Structure formats: structure tokens, C-alpha cells
Amino acid sequence: MSDDLTRRDLLQALAGGTLVAASTMLPITAVAQQFNRGSGRGPIADATGSRTPATLRGDQVVQPERALPVLHTTDVLVVGGGPAGTAAALAARRQGVEVTLVERYGHLGGLATGGLVLAIFPLYGSDRRQVILGIGEEMMRRLDTLKFGIIERNKAPEYPIVDAEAFKYVLASMVIEAGLKVFLNCWGVDAIIDSTGAVRGAVFESKSGRQAILAKVVVDASGDGDIYAAAGAAYTRVKDNIGLVSRIGNIDEIDMTGGDEHLAAASGQPVTPRRPTRGAPTMTLDGKVGSPTPAPHTNWLNMMGPVGDALDIAQMTEFELKHRIAIWNNVERVRAKAGNEQAFVLETAPQLGVRLSRLLHGVTVLTAEQARAQTKFEDAIGYSGSYAGQPEFQIPYRALVPQKVENLLAAGRCIATDFPLADTTRLIPVCWVTGEAAGVAASLCVTDRCTPRTVEVAKLTSILRAQGAYLG
Ligand SMILES: Cc1cc2nc3c(=O)[nH]c(=O)nc-3n(C[C@H](O)[C@H](O)[C@H](O)COP(=O)(O)OP(=O)(O)OC[C@H]3O[C@@H](n4cnc5c(N)ncnc54)[C@H](O)[C@@H]3O)c2cc1C
């Protein structure tokens, strides 16, 4: 069989089998190279393992001190490639600084792709106008040009539902086009602190071993605040429901409900009974079939899951195993119903559904009370739409800045809010907002030689507005 690929093969490889609108395609030359088999296959060199292993001393395991290779040096380092991290990295890059994005899995999108969390919730204000714009809106516009990329766009109060593979495609295209340096399959395990106590990069573990990336400023978009915790920032450790989202294939039925809480919250009106639940998490999987996705005959089934500690690896493992068994058993119940005989588990999310784990102690801690009171902030960097009965609210820049640690910003679900409000600030579009703001602020730290604490807020907000963000 020939090793040469046809243009059609390439497009299918790029789009995961989905046809792609010409306007959003990468030039074929940009990707053709990776599919050529090339020469130079075979052994590289004989080697002896060069790691410095930990040693057992009595009942203690001790790691020796050692110098780490520096993998890369950059202006802005963003750790975590989820909604917040991708928005942060793209926003910083647009300000002309060098940006490096590091992600522990092999794709971008975080829970919005790897977690199969497909609904883009609090986009709209109570008057149905879209209040979250900027880079997140740009991502959705790109999804809009793809067949089976996104449904329910611009139909407030209904929320858009994305396709995870289309979203991975869009994000991969955007980071390549932007000229971002990206390292995938790279897990941030420590912060690097200089002699003044400021964060100067992070340590990563990958198949290349333990390496350092040095940076002028770091954005922690890991969702779990892994880097700010390692740097010594104060935070609140929280427990929340941990579920596992799945997709069911070959299904045309959708779950019906007497009222959709999200829809009711957004419209302020009583909702028509028996609408689809549209992604609301199910408490029990007693034959639930979920709600529609952009892919034909395919539903996604959100899961609430039990309360757990996302920083407890034994508990996370137990949930991963038991949730997958529950999902399989549920589809067997679904198949038992007439008309659903051919339904099957299309996929379980590769990423466990962690809602919250760490909440930063920021210079400002945004509270549910402030949101209810419609508090206005002089350093507002964005706005959240209303969600599940919660009001729309402004988000202050200083909720991204740690109380003590220097040279680091937080973005996404681990920013400084109280626990009740975190249920909204953790949602995908709000993570876009805090990510974009953290990215621009980080770029200003480089261009204006300042720190996150001393960023000129008026400049930050004017750049965000110019990028299309709505600040309330
Ligand atoms: C079950 C469930 C259902 C949900 N439903 C909805 C919904 O319908 N609509 C909605 O808007 N929101 C929903 N959410 C919330 C939303 O999906 C997430 O809160 C949001 O994706 C958070 O974005 P983030 O970028 O802050 O974090 P994440 O999406 O978690 O992304 C963080 C990224 O960082 C990477 N990472 C983590 N640690 C490291 C490390 N140490 N080193 C390198 N990389 C690291 C991760 O792999 C990941 O890619 C749901 C969440 C869950 C769990």
C-alpha cells in the first residue's frame, strides 16, 4: 500500500472524519509533513538509564538533589490547556510576547473536550443578550463553520452544545496559527521560585523526564491550582461532586423533564414542560439517555457523581472505575427499552469530571453575596451571564492575583471565589473570560516590566475591550 496520502485522507485525518469548511482549514503544507514516513527510522544510540532514582532510607523515600535540564525559556508560561489556559495563551500571544502552553493530556480543551462537557452555559444575561464574547466567542464562531461542530448557537436562552472532536480541531488550529509553543503530555509538578520568592517557571514530568521551563510570568490554568499550591500560595481545599460524562451512540430518544432549571434561570420565564434536559447533570443513571449533541443520533449524558476529593488519588481511581461500570450498566437498561435496542456506549470521557478542588486566596475573593448585590469593581475584567437562578455579575482582576505569591496569575475554575459562586465561575465561558484576562495581564507584565500585582488595570481593560470582551 502506498504511503502517500491523498488530500481527502489528510482532511479526514485533520477533522477526525468530519468535513471541514474551507475558511477554517490549515494550509495543507502546514500539516502534510507529519504524515510522510520519512527516512531515519531505527536505533538512535545505545544508552544506560541516566535518571537519579529515589532511595529507600529506612521507611523514608528520599529524592536526591539534582540539576534539571531546561527544556525551554519563554516570556509567558501557561500551565493547563483547558478553556482558561487556551484563552490565556492566545490572548497573551496576541500582545506580541512569546507564550508557551503546557498540557498534561494529548489534546487541548480540558473538561470541555476531554471531559465531554459539551454545554456552554452562562453566556447570556437575563435580557438574553450575550455577555461573554472575546476569544471564547471566536472559538464558537470557528465551530460554527464546521459541519457537526456546534448546535443551538445564538438561540438564547438555549445554550450552545459543542462537539468535543470539532473543538479539539479548532483549538489545535488556533494555537498553531498563533505561533504558540505547545508541550502536550507534560505534567506540571512543581513551581520554580527565584531568590526573591517570585515564580520563575515550572517543573514538568513527561516521557522526556523531569525538565524545567523558565518564564518571566506564569499563569496557572490547571483547574486544580497545582502550580500556585506548589509555589506556596494560600487556598481553600474543597470537595465537590465528581462525575464522568459519556456519549451514547445510535439513539434518537432524549431525556425529558418537567422543567429545565438552566433554561428557566436564563429566560426568567416558566419553561414548557417536557423539554430536553439539555445537559443538566443526572443524579442517578436509571436508564437515562441524556440530550442531543451536534453529532447525529448521539447524546451526551452528564453525571453528577458522588462528593469527593479531587486531590485524593485513591478516591479518584475508585470513581474512574465505578463510574465506567455504572455507565455501561445504564446503557444496558437503555437498550432494554423498545426502539433503543441498537444504542451503545460511544465513549466515556477520558477525563474524570472534577468540578472544584482548590480555590485561591486572592487579593480579592469574589463572593456570591457580591454577585447578588451586583457589586461593581473598578478592576472588572469580565462578566458572567446568569446561570441556574444565579445573577449575572462582574469579575474583578484581583480575584486572579494570589494574596502572597509573586509573578503568578490564576485563571479558570481555581480562581479566588467563595464556594457558592465557584459553581458559576467554574463554567466554561467564565473560564474563557478569566483566562483571556490573565493572558493579557501576563503579557503586560512582560512588555511593561511589572508584576501581576502592579499591572496597570486601565491598560488591561482597554486591551480586553479592544479584543472584543464585555466587562459589564
Ligand atoms: C461533570 C461536569 C459537568 C460540567 N458541565 C458543564 C456544562 O454543562 N457547561 C459548562 O459551561 N461547564 C460545565 N462544567 C464545568 C467546566 O467544564 C469546567 O469547570 C471548565 O472546563 C474549567 O475550565 P478550566 O480551564 O479552568 O479547567 P479544566 O477544563 O479542568 O482544564 C484544565 C487543564 O489543565 C490540565 N492540567 C491539570 N493539571 C495539570 C498539570 N499539573 N500540568 C499540566 N496540565 C494540567 C488538564 O489536563 C486540563 O486540560 C462541568 C464540569 C464537570 C466536571
Set of cell numbers at residue 125: 444575561
DSSP string, 353-372: EE--SEEE-BSS-B-HHHHH
Residue 114 Cα: closest atom of ligand 1? 49
Specify the DSSP class assigned to residue 398: G
With a 6 Å cutoff on the Cβ, whether 110 touches ligand 1 is yes
- Contact assessment for residue 83 and residue 412, using Cβ atoms and an 8 Å cutoff: yes
Q: Which amino acid is at 130?
A: Q
Written as nine digits, the cell of 283 is 443524579
Question: 27 CA distance to ligand 1 centroid (A)?
Answer: 30
**DSSP-H helix ranges across 96-190:** 134-144, 164-178
pLDDT, the chain, mean: 90
Measured in Å, residue 171 CA sits from the centre of ligand 1 at: 15
- Average pLDDT (4-24) is 42
Confidence of residue 28 (pLDDT cuts 50, 70, 90): low
Task: Identify the pLDDT of residue 47.
Answer: 87
In single-letter form, the type of residue at position 414 comes to: C
Residue nearest to atom 30 of ligand 1 (CA): 223
Atom of ligand 1 minimally distant from the CA of 245: 1
**Which of 107, 241, 428 to mutate to test ligand 1, by most ligand atoms within 8 A of the CB atom?**
428
Which pLDDT band, with edges at 50, 70 and 90, does 307 fall under?
A: very high
Buried b (16+ CB within 10 A) or exposed e, 74-100: bbbbbbbbbbbbbbbbbbbbbbebbbb
CA 359 to centroid of ligand 1, rounded, Å? 14
The average pLDDT across 49-74 equals 92
| 152 has a pLDDT exceeding 50 | yes
Structural contact between residues 177 and 24, judged by C-beta atoms closer than 8 angstroms: no
Q: Is the CB of 225 under 6 A from ligand 1?
A: no
3-state secondary structure (DSSP) of residue 86: helix
pLDDT digits (tens, 9 = 90+) for 322-357: 999 999 999 999 999 999 999 999 999 999 999 999
**Positive or negative torsion for Cα 208, 212, 214, 217:** positive
Q: What is the pLDDT of residue 12?
A: 47
Closest ligand 1 atom to the C-alpha of 105?
47
**Ligand 1 pocket residue status of 94, Cβ below 6 Å:** no
End-to-end CA distance of the chain: 59
Q: Is the pLDDT of residue 265 over 60?
A: no
- Relative to the CA of 121, which ligand 1 atom is closest? 11
Asked if residue 18 has pLDDT above 50, the reply is no
- What is the chain's Cα-based Rg? 23
pLDDT band at 13 (very low <50, low <70, confident <90, very high): very low
Adjacency order of strands within the sheet including 246-249: 291-292, 298-301, 246-249, 344-348
Which helix (H) or strand (E) covers residue 464, if one does? helix 457-466
Q: Is 353 in the pocket of ligand 1 (CB under 6 A)?
A: yes
From 111, 304, 436, the mutation candidate for ligand 1 (largest count of ligand atoms within 8 A of CB) is: 111
The confidence score (pLDDT) of residue 378 equals 97
The set of cell numbers assigned to 197 is: 520568592
Instruction: Give every CB contact of residue 469 below 8 A, 6+ residues apart in sequence.
Output: 133, 134, 381, 382, 433, 436, 437
Q: DSSP string of 30-53?
A: HHHHHH---S--S-----------
Between 319 and 126, the more confident residue is 319
Q: How far is the CA of 147 from the centre of ligand 1 (A)?
A: 25
Is pLDDT of 257 > 70?
A: no
Ligand 1 contact via 161 beta carbon (within 6 Å): no
- 90-102 pLDDT per residue, tens: 999 999 999 999 9
Q: What would the mean pLDDT of 102-122 be, rounded to a whole number?
A: 97
- The pLDDT tens digits of the residues spanning 350-377 come to 999 999 999 999 999 999 999 999 999 9
Side chain identity, residue 359: L
If you measure from the C-alpha of residue 251 to the centroid of ligand 1, how many angstroms do you get, rounded to a whole number? 27
Residue 8 binned pLDDT confidence (cut-offs 50, 70, 90):
very low
